[in-house]
Chain A
Amino acid sequence: MLDDKQPDALPDPLDVWSDEVFDVLLAADIKHVVYVPDSGHARLIERAIAEPSIKATVLTTEEEGIGVLLGAWLGGERGVLLMQSSGAGNCTNTLSLVQSCRFPFLTLVTMRGEWAEFNGWQTPMGKVTGQSLELMDVKAYRVEQSEEAAEVVSAVAESVFCGDLAAAVLLSQRMIGKKEWAK
């Protein structure tokens, strides 16, 4: 088991919504989880690595993930890119693949630089994460409440894989920040 907590401990909120989202990804027939780590994605990454039906690939920089997902699509498989908001800026030119080759692109983005941020160096990119993705025709959805995460990812995944939409789900720092950024 991945969860090594005591049986009587309350589940970590991040683990709860992450597990729900992971089930959605499995249901959407996702075979590739490509990622640049972020603590907000820690549980999803852990689950992806442990899941035999998933190929989990760590990247050196986020735009690599767009190439890997296109290659996987050429080979008949679906995937998702997990990244932090700062990584969206690294992706701009490579996102031309999504338009030029018209392949289903889904990314889950954990936000920095927007809510109780203590590191101002995260703020410039955090302010324009959604805009930068939308500049390249990747529609950005936001999740503010952890209870909504699985529902939104499920709906967006359906639009991506059935409805010919390229999309990002931005997971708000307010939602994921409860545990992660206190120190």
Chain B
Amino acid sequence: MGEVNSKSTAQLERRAVVSELLKDRGDLLLVTGLGSPSYDAMAAGDNPANFYLWGAMGSSVTIGLGLALAQPDRPVMVLTGDGELLMGLGALATAGAKQPGNLSIAVLDNERYGETGMQLTHSAQGVDLAGVAAACNFSHTEVIRDLNDVAPFGQRAQATDFGVRLAQIKIKAESPEKVLPSRDGVFITTRFRANLGFATL
């Protein structure tokens, strides 16, 4: 990777972060944003309660919102990156207005578009993602820079009556080996629904 101009001093490794985040996931339902967050979730262990997004960039939060509304007794987490979140930033307003009690968003923020050549995102240029979430009426927002703070957010995400939570987790700009989940959207969808006891169509 070439040198890029950023003031970020983040040292957290994304795979370690996701492993901590999901280690006691219980009956958590997980929606991952396209790109590295999907590979990270897959590296932590495939699970029928994972929905991996491969396209429609900007949709992870809205998918998580719809799922949270339909499954109010299950904790729902969206695991995405700063670039994917930025493409659907209005969804933070939609989630904040709707306020499901069981939705958490974990943003792996490397301040880069990691899939396309590590170009800097808005997050590297003064835009405060956790601040946007706070302004959108989220019940809890935090910026995580210490690995010890990751598992507590995972536990916080277990509550189903807490409103919408967001953690902006500052990670290194690195590209670990890709661990690819299935790219078959029908399979991922059908498996997810079957795991909840629903028919295919």
| Chain A residues at the B interface, C-beta cutoff of 8 Å | 31-32, 34, 55, 57-61, 63-77, 79, 93-94, 96-97, 100-104, 164
Q: How would you classify the secondary structure of chain B's contact residues: helix, strand, loop or mixed?
A: helix
A138 to B98 CA separation, bound complex (whole angstroms): 27
**Shortest CB distance A62–B (Å):** 11
Q: B70 contacts the other chain (Cβ, under 8 Å)?
A: yes
List A contacts of B29 (CB < 8 A). Answer: 75
Q: How large is the interface on B (under 10, 10 to 19, 20 to 34, 35 or more residues)?
A: 35 or more
Given the interface contacts A93-B56, A101-B185, A102-B185, does A57 sit within 8 Å of B69 by beta carbon?
yes
Q: B114 contacts the other chain (Cβ, under 8 Å)?
A: no
Which residues of B, 182-201, contact A by the 8 Å Cβ criterion? 185-186, 188-189, 192-193, 196-198, 201
Q: A74-B70, A76-B193 are in contact. List 12 more A-B contacts (CB 8 A).
A: A32-B69, A32-B70, A57-B94, A67-B59, A67-B61, A68-B63, A71-B62, A72-B67, A74-B51, A79-B66, A97-B55, A101-B186
Q: B64 contacts the other chain (Cβ, under 8 Å)?
A: yes
Q: Whose C-beta in chain A lies nearest to the C-beta of B197?
A: A76
Hey, what's the 0/1 contact readout for B27-70 against A, CB within 8 Å counting as 1?
00101000000000000000000010011111111111111111
Which residues of B, 3-41, contact A by the 8 Å Cβ criterion? 29, 31
Cβ contact within 8 Å between B193 and A68 = no
Q: B71 contacts the other chain (Cβ, under 8 Å)?
A: yes
List B contacts of A68 (CB < 8 A). Answer: 62-63, 65-66, 69, 94
What 7 A-B pairs have minimum CB-CB distances, sorted nearest first? A71-B66, A75-B70, A67-B62, A60-B90, A100-B185, A68-B66, A71-B67
List B contacts of A75 (CB < 8 A). Answer: 29, 66-71, 196
**Shortest CB distance B104–A (Å):** 14
A169 to B39 CA separation, bound complex (whole angstroms): 38
A101 to B200 CA separation, bound complex (whole angstroms): 11
Cβ contact within 8 Å between B56 and A102 = no
